[in-house]
Amino acid sequence: MKDLDNQIIALLKQNARMLVTQMARELGVSRVTIDAHIKKMETSGVISGYTVKLGTEEFRHKVSGWILISVQANKEEHAIEKMIGTPEIPRLHTTNGKWDLAAEIQVPTLEHFDAVISKLRQIDGITETDTSLLLSSRIGE
């Protein structure tokens, strides 16, 4: 990747809404050059999207964690189907080893987290769960 591409990415990481004209001024190149580099990085997949960071606690889920799930072999698809669309489970992963599935949980309270665990344990085929709460994030968001 070119040095200019890295500089553009650094600016976009600071402010994804930065105007192309402002980037051009800061980097000392034309607006057309910046625009062409951004389009090329989007097309090639270097830039795969733009996002919003929620800044205030009231918009964040206060309790996050994972529930590791063991499922009877012939019941895995059934269990997954029951979890699809559950708003407290933004991501569900298949895993290897002792646990078959890893459900990421995001809820406002510990009581709500407990209710999600209880709900999952009632799904036919789920034989065991293990829960871990997120205490803090050290790298990334």
- Shortest CA distance to 92 belongs to which of 82, 102, 100? 102
- When pLDDT is cut at 50, 70 and 90, the band that residue 69 belongs to is very high
Encoded amino acid at 103, one letter: A
Domain shared by 8 and 73, yes or no: no
Higher-confidence residue of 46 and 61: namely 46
Domain shared by 34 and 75, yes or no: no
Mean of pLDDT values over 30-48: 93
Residue 59's pLDDT is 45
Q: How far apart are CA 55 and CA 79, in angstroms?
A: 34
The CATH number of residue 96's host domain is 3.30.70.920
Question: If you average pLDDT over every residue of the chain, what do you get?
Answer: 90
- When pLDDT is cut at 50, 70 and 90, the band that residue 54 belongs to is low
Q: How far apart are CA 10 and CA 3, in angstroms?
A: 11
The CATH number of residue 35's host domain is 1.10.10.10
Joined together, the tokens standing for residue 33 give 């050059």
Which helix (H) or strand (E) element contains residue 91?
A: strand 91-94
pTM: 0.59
- When pLDDT is cut at 50, 70 and 90, the band that residue 50 belongs to is confident
Domain shared by 79 and 34, yes or no: no
pLDDT tens figures, 72-104: 989 999 999 999 999 999 999 999 999 999 999
Domain shared by 24 and 61, yes or no: no
Domain shared by 39 and 89, yes or no: no
Q: Which residue range forms the structural domain that includes residue 13?
A: 3-44
Domain shared by 23 and 61, yes or no: no
CA 44 to chain centre: 22
Number of domains, the chain? 2
Mean of pLDDT values over 23-42: 94
Domain shared by 69 and 109, yes or no: yes
Domain shared by 24 and 87, yes or no: no
Going from the C-alpha of 94 to that of each of 5, 35, 70, the distances in angstroms are 35, 39, 10
